[in-house]
Chains A and B, each alone.
Chain A
């Protein structure tokens, strides 16, 4: 087996060349007549190695480059993007964007974010930690991960394998205010999917670890075991009686639940009136025990950023303060649509913490007494316009405060307004693998159908 290294240019060199490219694109936009322009250019590469049943299954080398430009002609705008960064492509892409702008209509909210909002000093967020792992090394790690899962229990009968992935790169953003910055970072993961079976059929479960720094990844053998532990835990599902019960969202599922609240106070949903939380600033929309805080500058954070997609400085802030909407989540365009100021959230939120009075999960189970602990969710049944929520779920039935048996093929439904106001407890089991970091969340009641 030969080892082929991924393209691992020195990040400073890569940043310089991408900044140079961005500057040339902005110059070309001005030359062709744009009154303002902004450009995003990226270059990233990586390696994904998958092993199944102890054999190497795929080796994938990823390699993504390209740029996108937005040009403004007065109050009109046009976008164009390409994977090609040659001089002809730059000229043609700028021309295509300007051509689009010629046919769009005036929108006074269009344009770059205000010059004074641009990030002045971009903090070092410690996001770049290359993983010096080659194909044989990644293969060995994936093989050990899967083997640990397969050996965990006799009821583990099959596997979708284990996967080791590493990627790194540089993203540059610049605009005709003179803002031009580069951000580089790495992201590494190990994942595993195990299948357990009994006479009632097969149950798959996966687990993963992810981080900016390979040193921060969870022990990969434990990843395999956890996938197996979870798959075996799904065996022996029994039906439950349709009714209204307390529902606890296990930490990974709770992050998804919180994401809907964040979407509902997002600029786009608000100005399109596609949110059940219109005009909610200063209003109680969740239990007073719930606070949602953004920490964009967390060192090594998976979603950390020193500036947003408009070049605006990011800053720590509270979106939901003891259940009250303290800030919407706005980029420069949506802010203008709503007559407000940008919150530095072009491209979304950057590291969202659920701050609550965290308690041991066992205590929450005792409090719920009888109900459903949701560990997996399926489907798209979330209507932000009305707040209606109805999704497929799987999990564990809790009776007398103790786990009783796994549950499958049920739905959970309620209106989100009642769900967030009805959160009565937060667990101390915080899942730190995503943009939203939360413990388990206990909701007073939802309809469970079976």
Chain B
């Protein structure tokens, strides 16, 4: 499968049902090609989604959806006109195009002529996760994992299992005559459990996925591993003590705790906030913004990862972009619009939730690269602090730089050793300050298992994160267990 094949099959899937072909599309692009429109584009998209859920020991719910439409964008200087249609029939395309071009003052231009397909490396296979397993097999899998999770420990009282499969096809055509497309599979499996003991209840979650079909759930023991993760988290928390409160050293485990990078630096390095000067990192290119142990990369090119992109939603090939190198800020993530206004190139980070939303600079897979420290030595270096291995999510205020992330599995560190589990606590800090306080970086790099969801300006997207174990010398921990000494 090459990117040319992908474009051919995307045209078939998106245009043929409504008898749209290249002349109609170039005609619409012509209406977007006026003297004061710098660039315009049509984004065609078809998403099919299927999900099955088990709770209370039974597969009780299932859902299937189809969403097919087109988003039309016209850009004039800093102005953007945008409209969309929830079908791909020609009258709807014309209406959306007229609405989007209403920001222009002048009449119509000449049009795009012939469309030329772009080429890009393919980062995941063109597979249909929904069709990759039978309904019987999917339902049986949920039942098997329910029984497996309950069998791990008698204290497990409730199990919820969910499988979610998506198949997306899109096609971007722009007024410069370029055409690109993508076929994006997405699969995800989640396990949630409740453990009960002496009247106390605790929740645990596990899960994973990526841009592939459902095969990994049947060919490997991944689903069982997600169930083990969920059960471990719930059982550990049954015995958790109150978390400490105040500023202290925190060691983060590898993989999913990389949500730190996503919040502390990732969002702040998206092009839009830096163009507008509203990011805490704005105007700091070339400056030291993190400890020299920190190299942070956004990489859409990783094979099969949840945040990977062969091409982004503007047709730019996915790329590997170094954001911070040995502590120095060296790159922003850009979409076409912000790149043009900042006099630079798109880094393939133009993403949108669907055709009904405008693209903007977004992360793909964002991670901190490995260091030299042995994880045990990192923990041994802390006399009194917190070791956090899983998080429920985070949030950042891009302008002030402050960010939070909430631990769902964490432990006290006492005298250089991992101690009792602590109740979930929120960590809060300021991105540029906290990154300067990263004093040890482990050699145990991991990516997360593939469950990340990122929200920005009302749009949610799948993303990946990753990091090795690392130590932050001081960050505020929001527990109730009294002030740390």
In the bound complex, what is the Cα–Cα distance between A99 and B131 (angstroms)? 14
Known contacts A57-B78, A99-B135, A410-B476; A379 and B406 CB within 8 A of each other: yes
Q: Is the CB of A381 within 8 A of B478?
A: yes
Q: Is the CB of B78 within 8 A of A379?
A: no
The closest CB in chain A to the CB of B401 belongs to A201
Q: Is the CB of A413 within 8 A of B278?
A: no
The closest CB in chain A to the CB of B69 belongs to A83
Known contacts A202-B278, A202-B399, A380-B395; A391 and B86 CB within 8 A of each other: no
**Interface residue ranges of A45-100 to B (CB < 8 Å):** 52, 55-66, 68, 77-84, 89, 92-93, 96-97, 99-100
Q: Is the CB of B395 within 8 A of A385?
A: no
In the bound complex, what is the Cα–Cα distance between A135 and B85 (angstroms)? 19
| B2 → chain A closest CB, angstroms | 30
In the bound complex, what is the Cα–Cα distance between A449 and B84 (angstroms)? 47
Q: Is the CB of A82 within 8 A of B67?
A: yes
Q: Does B122 contact A (CB under 8 A)?
A: no
Known contacts A204-B397, A388-B423, A450-B246; A105 and B276 CB within 8 A of each other: no
Partner of B66, one of A61, A93, A100, A385: A93
In the bound complex, what is the Cα–Cα distance between A4 and B406 (angstroms)? 45
The closest CB in chain B to the CB of A107 belongs to B60
Q: Which residues of B contact A117 (CB under 8 A)?
A: none
Q: Which residues of A contact B78 (CB under 8 A)?
A: 52, 55, 57
- Cross-chain pair count, CB within 8 angstroms: 258
Q: Which residues of A contact B276 (CB under 8 A)?
A: 52, 158, 160
| B425 → chain A closest CB, angstroms | 5
Using a Cβ–Cβ cut-off of 8 Å, how many residues does chain B contribute to the interface with A? 83
Query: Which of the segments B289-297, B344-352, B426-434, B459-467 contacts the partner chain?
Result: B426-434
Q: Is the CB of A390 within 8 A of B243?
A: yes
Q: Does B381 contact A (CB under 8 A)?
A: no
Q: Is the CB of A107 within 8 A of B480?
A: no
Q: Is the CB of A273 within 8 A of B194?
A: yes
In the bound complex, what is the Cα–Cα distance between A36 and B64 (angstroms)? 18
**Interface residue ranges of B72-115 to A (CB < 8 Å):** 78-87, 96, 98-100, 102-103, 105
Known contacts A4-B99, A79-B62, A104-B59; A60 and B358 CB within 8 A of each other: yes
A229-248 Cβ-contact flags toward B at 8 Å (1 or 0): 00000100000001100000
Q: Does B388 contact A (CB under 8 A)?
A: no
Q: Which residues of A contact B64 (CB under 8 A)?
A: 78-81, 93, 96-97, 99-100
Partner of A392, one of B202, B428, B479: B428
Known contacts A60-B82, A204-B399; A242 and B483 CB within 8 A of each other: yes
Partner of B278, one of A160, A390, A409: A160
| B82 → chain A closest CB, angstroms | 5
Q: Does A414 contact B (CB under 8 A)?
A: yes
Known contacts A82-B65, A385-B201, A386-B201; A379 and B405 CB within 8 A of each other: yes
Q: Does B356 contact A (CB under 8 A)?
A: yes
Q: Is the CB of A272 within 8 A of B160?
A: yes
Q: Is the CB of A65 within 8 A of B61?
A: no
Q: Does B393 contact A (CB under 8 A)?
A: yes
Q: Does A263 contact B (CB under 8 A)?
A: no
The SS class assigned to the B binding surface is strand
| B42 → chain A closest CB, angstroms | 15
Known contacts A105-B60, A272-B55; A66 and B86 CB within 8 A of each other: yes
| B378 → chain A closest CB, angstroms | 23
Q: Is the CB of B400 within 8 A of A201?
A: yes
Q: Does B419 contact A (CB under 8 A)?
A: no
| A63 → chain B closest CB, angstroms | 6
Q: Is the CB of A392 within 8 A of B478?
A: yes
Q: Is the CB of B406 within 8 A of A158?
A: no
Q: Which residues of A contact B55 (CB under 8 A)?
A: 272
Q: Is the CB of A411 within 8 A of B157?
A: no
Q: Is the CB of B356 within 8 A of A449?
A: no
Q: Is the CB of A413 within 8 A of B82?
A: no
Partner of A449, one of B85, B277, B394, B476: B476
Partner of B478, one of A57, A66, A391: A391
Partner of A104, one of B60, B80, B96: B60
Q: Is the CB of A413 within 8 A of B425?
A: yes
Q: Is the CB of A61 within 8 A of B99?
A: yes
Known contacts A55-B78, A61-B82; A390 and B67 CB within 8 A of each other: no
Q: Does B139 contact A (CB under 8 A)?
A: yes
Q: Is the CB of B86 within 8 A of A63?
A: yes
Q: Which residues of B contact A411 (CB under 8 A)?
A: 245, 404, 425-428, 476-478
- Among B60, B62, B66, the most chain A Cβ lie within 10 Å of the Cβ of B62
Q: Which residues of A contact B392 (CB under 8 A)?
A: 380-381
Known contacts A96-B64, A103-B139, A378-B428; A59 and B87 CB within 8 A of each other: no
Known contacts A4-B98, A59-B103, A158-B276; A409 and B430 CB within 8 A of each other: yes
In the bound complex, what is the Cα–Cα distance between A24 and B200 (angstroms)? 50
Q: Is the CB of A390 within 8 A of B203?
A: no
Q: List 12 A-B contacts (CB under 8 A).
A: A57-B78, A58-B81, A99-B135, A100-B52, A100-B62, A103-B139, A110-B60, A242-B246, A274-B203, A410-B428, A411-B425, A411-B478
The 4 closest A-B pairs by CB, nearest first: A411-B478, A392-B404, A379-B404, A100-B62
Given A103-B136, A234-B400, 20 extra CB contacts under 8 A? A58-B80, A66-B86, A79-B62, A82-B67, A104-B58, A107-B58, A201-B401, A378-B428, A379-B393, A379-B394, A380-B394, A381-B426, A386-B200, A386-B423, A390-B424, A390-B478, A392-B478, A411-B245, A413-B478, A413-B479
B contacts, CB < 8 Å to A: 52, 55, 58-69, 78-87, 96, 98-100, 102-103, 105, 135-136, 138-139, 157-158, 160, 194, 196, 200-203, 243, 245-247, 276-278, 280, 356, 358, 392-395, 397, 399-406, 423-430, 476-480, 482-484
